[in-house]
Chain A
Amino acid sequence: SGKRRGGLAMCTTGTLSILSSDSYADLSQYRDQHFRGTRYDQERLLRKSCTLYVGNLSFYTTEEQIHELFGKSGDIKKVIMGLDKVKKTACGFCFVEYYARGDAENAMRYINGTRLDDRIIRTDWDAGFKEGRQYGRGRSGGQVRDEYRQDYDAGRGGYGKTVQCQ
């Protein structure tokens, strides 16, 4: 059936590139600098991952809220809350792992960039949770972005850490 060399290949499954665009589900430019392995390994894992990193959460956002929102794109296997390394309290990010990659893709398409606890949250592909990655990497224990920012964010401990120390 179908493909004849040089002739007219009439494949009913063919598509057009304008219709196969899936920019929300594509990999972003971000690569975890702490990843152990080559760039190639990392990208391979990202492309088959069922795990999403979720950022810009309020410190008060609970696992239950995350479960409710992200459950809209499919069955969730696990939610791992991001913690301040020192205080062991929520510090505004988490990982959401799905059973199926397709469900994670739908989260990237339809939950990324919408609101949770009135904040626009951001999701990105993650190569997979490993022990230790649930902690913030900022000097003070939280996320790096909260070390240096200048603005006041009531949902993320107020001013950035460096500002607070002034």
Chain B
Amino acid sequence: AGQPHKRRRTSEPSEIEERLESLICRSNSSLESNLEGLAGVLEADLPNYKSKILRILCTVARLLPEKLTVYTTLVGLLNARNYNFGGEFVEAMIRQLKECLKVNMYNEAVHLVRFLSDLVNCHVIAAPSMVAMFENFVSVTQEEDVPQVRCDWYVFAFLSSLPWVGKELYEKKDAEMDRLLRRQKIHVPMLQVWTADKPHPQEEYLDCLWSQIQKLKKDRWQERHILRPYLAFDSILCEALQHNLPPFTPPPHTEDSVYPMPRVIFRMFDYTDDPEGPVMPGSHSVERFVIEENLHCIIKSHWKERKTCAAQLLSYPGNNKIPLNYHIVEVIFAELFQLPSPPHIEVMYTTLLIELCKLQPGSLPQVLAQATEMLYMRLDTMNTTCVDRFINWFSHHLSNFQFRWSWEDWSDCLTQDLEKPKPKFVREVLEKCMRLSYHQRIIDIVPASFSVLSPANPVCIYKYGDESNRSLPGYTVALCLTIAIKNKASNDEIFSILKDVPNPNQDDDDDEGFTFNPLKIEVFVQTLLHLAAKSFSHSFSALAKFHEVFKTLAESDEGKLHVLRVVYEVWKNHPQMIAVLVDKMIRTQIVDCAAVANWIFSSELAHDFTRFYIWEILHSTIRKMNKHVLKIHKELEETKARLARQHKRRDSDDDDDDDDRSSDREDGPLEEQIERLQEKVETAQSEQKNLFLVIFQRFIMLLTEHLVRCETGGIDVFTPWYKSCIERLQQIFLQHHQIIQQYMVTLENLLFTAELDHHILAVFQQFCALQA
């Protein structure tokens, strides 16, 4: 550990860094036309600022892959002028690559590998040494007892560099290359957006790339899409001396290695979709691969800056040779529908598409409408999770365009069973549109024929509301409560009013202790929610004010379940209200996560089981549980760190002090805190595990029931309900895969055993195959 820098020099170094960075990272057009000039400037700066220049160029290689060939050309020109610099750059790149692999930064490592391979084209790296590196990559597939995803990555890094350098390597080392290009997927169905293979097969990413490279090889490595500035400088570059890559051994697999998840290539367009414009490269053409890679990289670079991102996407070179709008829309939907999760937050894609529409108002909206239509047509086979995202995107998008849409084009869905994917989709979209506006607006925007799909008016249902209900048990207490609450009664007054409510469940009058009394819960919750129905804030205030009553009534598990049931009865027309109330009740510990899970799988909710809002509530509940565990864990780690710092301070302050008692005393409170937090973490983790087990258990029960019923009745298993349910189970695995990985042994031994129906077991096996 070195001494900290004493007095930093003035802002000079960072100014220089900024100047160099802005020189190097300037926008495309001015940079490319003056690469030679820039090379001259940097060469002159090398004596003084070599390490800064090296660092900036390495970072550019890692983070600006969409500008790959521009910067390899620049490095090539620098190498031609200064051989030593070229060597140092290559060494620095290798060091950076090793570091990336060590810290699981695999996506960025791919960019580095590609950069290195393009340096062969710029005469910086000798082709045979690049082939040797690729040989080492491919030999990872021979390793024993390693996850397939590890081998996959090394093969991917090799194959995905070939569009840039295949020709050069093959011309120099064709026999070796042939050997490398010879290659094995249970997990694929789980990641596919559509279950059908028509019109476009949903290929596993490596299979697709493999086909693309095979085709490229057949075409004798003729690749015309990638812009290669170095071609213009061939006469300079071919004079340069090349460097050999040091032998590169892939770092070994460790327990901490986390490789990228496998992917499925999303395709929705082909050359028939834009008959007027330039031809879209085929699905197995390497051009398609390069375009998609670059567009994804642009989004990755500029996701925080939506205007810049849109502008960069639209200025992708080759605009008149490829149907760029189609590629952009396809790439954006590919990310939005990616399983398990999109690379970025969903709402980003909505806003990015809006920005693109603003920049290309004459063409992009039409492509987007065409895409929407296509997605609608294929709803029958679309994965439920992807349908959720489609619903969210489409409703939010419409709300920015006055909900204008040609709904009549979709009247085919009106004649279908309401549980079928298309009418279901329209219903859910209209419900979400209503949440962003108001009920009457939705009635106004759809044709009259669509009223059967329109959402219910989100009004509260109060069972004690009408005089005609006065015979209901608890009616008079409800009236009493209403008056009391309006007169600002306290919790105690509420308790005393509720004492008069008989318990329909038990004969003994043990009303001193508050055992589970469903009628008390019913009367109280119905009345309170009805009085607070005006807005979310009113309801939240009510929950806060009468928290004590809620906690007491809902003390038992049955109590919690019943509270949730009553909330549903009151607000079943207003799913959004149900969701926010459940959220608040979890956060204020009126109910717990397991109660919510049990409620969702209860028979009372069977009717709504396939509705989107139910799954939003469940996943939100799981997320709260996960965040809770992380929070306590963080607290524990921070307290441990504080204790460690305290020890360090003490050790460095008094070396010859052996007053152990005083150090114990100082440590005492912190150690106690750590013990308490340790317990808290264990409790939370156990609660978290229990939540997942409850959910899986209920799924298994529900699905088994259905499968048995179908088998004995001789009817087809694959009803719309079944498809929805099994995909919801998959969704649990995918969306929370990191946490569920911890429970694999329990799941295998307790729940997903060999006796289980193979339909259900298949989901578990696909999940296991994901990181195998």
| Contacts of B432-447 to chain A: CB distance below 8 A | 432, 435-438
Note all chain B residues with C-beta closer than 8 A to A165.
none
Q: Could you say which of B22, B304, B354, B436 contacts A68, with CB atoms under 8 Å apart? A: B436
B21 contacts partner chain A, Cβ-Cβ < 8 Å: yes
**Residues of chain A at interface, number, CB under 8 A:** 40
Q: Could you list 10 A-B pairs, sorted by A, with CB under 8 Å?
A: A5-B2, A9-B55, A12-B108, A16-B60, A17-B21, A21-B305, A64-B435, A64-B576, A68-B436, A110-B351
The residue in A7, A25, A69 that gathers the most chain B C-beta atoms within 10 A of its C-beta is A69
A118 lies within 8 A of B402 (CB): yes
A19 contacts partner chain B, Cβ-Cβ < 8 Å: yes
A109 lies within 8 A of B99 (CB): no
Note all chain A residues with C-beta closer than 8 A to B348.
106, 109-110
A12 lies within 8 A of B304 (CB): no
B437 lies within 8 A of A65 (CB): yes
Given A15-B59, A67-B580, 20 more A-B residue pairs with CB atoms under 8 Å apart are A8-B51, A8-B92, A10-B58, A10-B99, A14-B55, A14-B59, A15-B63, A16-B56, A62-B535, A64-B576, A65-B435, A65-B437, A72-B346, A81-B537, A106-B347, A109-B304, A110-B345, A110-B348, A111-B351, A114-B351
> Could you give, for residues 49-61 of chain B, a 1 whenever the CB lies within 8 Å of some chain A CB and a 0 otherwise?
0010011101110
| Contacts of B38-69 to chain A: CB distance below 8 A | 51, 54-56, 58-60, 62-64
A117 contacts partner chain B, Cβ-Cβ < 8 Å: yes
Residue of A nearest to B349 (CB): A110
A23 contacts partner chain B, Cβ-Cβ < 8 Å: yes
| Contacts of A91-142 to chain B: CB distance below 8 A | 106, 109-111, 114-118
A18 contacts partner chain B, Cβ-Cβ < 8 Å: yes
Q: In whole angstroms, how far apart are the Cα atoms of A15 and B576 in the complex?
A: 41
Distance (whole angstroms) from the CB of B166 to the closest CB of chain A: 28
Residue of A nearest to B91 (CB): A8
Note all chain A residues with C-beta closer than 8 A to B351.
109-111, 114
Q: Chain A interface (Cβ within 8 Å of chain B)?
A: 5-10, 12, 14-19, 21-25, 62-65, 67-69, 72-73, 75, 79-81, 106, 109-111, 114-118
B315 contacts partner chain A, Cβ-Cβ < 8 Å: no
Note all chain A residues with C-beta closer than 8 A to B105.
12
B99 lies within 8 A of A12 (CB): yes
B59 lies within 8 A of A16 (CB): yes
User: B-side binding surface: helix, strand, loop or mixed?
Assistant: helix
| Contacts of B557-586 to chain A: CB distance below 8 A | 576-577, 580, 583
Q: In whole angstroms, how far apart are the Cα atoms of A64 and B523 in the complex?
A: 26
Say yes or no: A110-B306 contact (C-beta < 8 A), given A10-B96, A73-B347: yes
Distance (whole angstroms) from the CB of A136 to the closest CB of chain B: 18
Note all chain A residues with C-beta closer than 8 A to B60.
16
Residue of A nearest to B5 (CB): A5
A68 lies within 8 A of B576 (CB): yes
> Could you give, for residues 392-416 of chain B, a 1 whenever the CB lies within 8 Å of some chain A CB and a 0 otherwise?
1000100110100000000000000
Note all chain B residues with C-beta closer than 8 A to A15.
59, 63
Q: Could you say which of B18, B399, B438, B536 contacts A63, with CB atoms under 8 Å apart? A: B536
Distance (whole angstroms) from the CB of B230 to the closest CB of chain A: 22
Note all chain B residues with C-beta closer than 8 A to A17.
18, 21-22, 25
Note all chain A residues with C-beta closer than 8 A to B399.
115-116
A63 lies within 8 A of B304 (CB): no
Residue of A nearest to B305 (CB): A21
Q: Could you say which of A8, A19, A22, A25 contacts B54, with CB atoms under 8 Å apart? A: A8
A12 lies within 8 A of B96 (CB): yes
A16 lies within 8 A of B304 (CB): no
B103 contacts partner chain A, Cβ-Cβ < 8 Å: yes
Note all chain A residues with C-beta closer than 8 A to B54.
8
B396 lies within 8 A of A72 (CB): yes
Distance (whole angstroms) from the CB of A134 to the closest CB of chain B: 11
A73 lies within 8 A of B345 (CB): yes
Note all chain B residues with C-beta closer than 8 A to A10.
55, 58, 92, 95-96, 99
**Residues of chain B at interface, number, CB under 8 A:** 54
Q: In whole angstroms, how far apart are the Cα atoms of A67 and B92 in the complex?
A: 50
Note all chain B residues with C-beta closer than 8 A to A5.
2
| Contacts of B287-308 to chain A: CB distance below 8 A | 301-302, 304-306, 308
B350 contacts partner chain A, Cβ-Cβ < 8 Å: yes
Distance (whole angstroms) from the CB of A21 to the closest CB of chain B: 6
Q: In whole angstroms, how far apart are the Cα atoms of A64 and B108 in the complex?
A: 42
| Contacts of B88-107 to chain A: CB distance below 8 A | 92, 95-96, 99-100, 103, 105
Q: In whole angstroms, how far apart are the Cα atoms of A151 and B666 in the complex?
A: 68
Q: In whole angstroms, how far apart are the Cα atoms of A69 and B64 in the complex?
A: 33
Q: In whole angstroms, how far apart are the Cα atoms of A154 and B393 in the complex?
A: 28
B305 lies within 8 A of A110 (CB): no
Q: In whole angstroms, how far apart are the Cα atoms of A159 and B167 in the complex?
A: 69
Q: Could you say which of B95, B100, B108, B400 contacts A115, with CB atoms under 8 Å apart? A: B400
Q: In whole angstroms, how far apart are the Cα atoms of A62 and B347 in the complex?
A: 21
Distance (whole angstroms) from the CB of B648 to the closest CB of chain A: 20
Distance (whole angstroms) from the CB of B712 to the closest CB of chain A: 44
Distance (whole angstroms) from the CB of A131 to the closest CB of chain B: 15
Residue of B nearest to A3 (CB): B2
Residue of A nearest to B624 (CB): A75
Q: In whole angstroms, how far apart are the Cα atoms of A128 and B116 in the complex?
A: 50
Q: In whole angstroms, how far apart are the Cα atoms of A4 and B302 in the complex?
A: 31
Closest 5 CB pairs of A and B: A68-B435, A72-B347, A110-B351, A115-B400, A110-B347
A111 lies within 8 A of B347 (CB): yes
> Could you give, for residues 675-689 of chain B, a 1 whenever the CB lies within 8 Å of some chain A CB and a 0 otherwise?
000000000000000
Say yes or no: A7-B51 contact (C-beta < 8 A), given A16-B63, A24-B306, A67-B536: yes
A79 lies within 8 A of B59 (CB): no
Q: In whole angstroms, how far apart are the Cα atoms of A65 and B577 in the complex?
A: 11
B436 lies within 8 A of A116 (CB): yes
Note all chain A residues with C-beta closer than 8 A to B64.
16, 19
Q: In whole angstroms, how far apart are the Cα atoms of A48 and B268 in the complex?
A: 42
Q: In whole angstroms, how far apart are the Cα atoms of A21 and B307 in the complex?
A: 12
A21 lies within 8 A of B103 (CB): no
Q: Could you say which of B22, B58, B304, B436 contacts A21, with CB atoms under 8 Å apart? A: B304
Note all chain B residues with C-beta closer than 8 A to A19.
63-64, 301-302
Note all chain A residues with C-beta closer than 8 A to B22.
17
Residue of A nearest to B54 (CB): A8
Note all chain B residues with C-beta closer than 8 A to A18.
21, 25
Q: In whole angstroms, how far apart are the Cα atoms of A64 and B534 in the complex?
A: 11
Note all chain A residues with C-beta closer than 8 A to B577.
64
A24 lies within 8 A of B304 (CB): yes
Note all chain A residues with C-beta closer than 8 A to B96.
10, 12
Distance (whole angstroms) from the CB of A42 to the closest CB of chain B: 24
Residue of B nearest to A111 (CB): B347
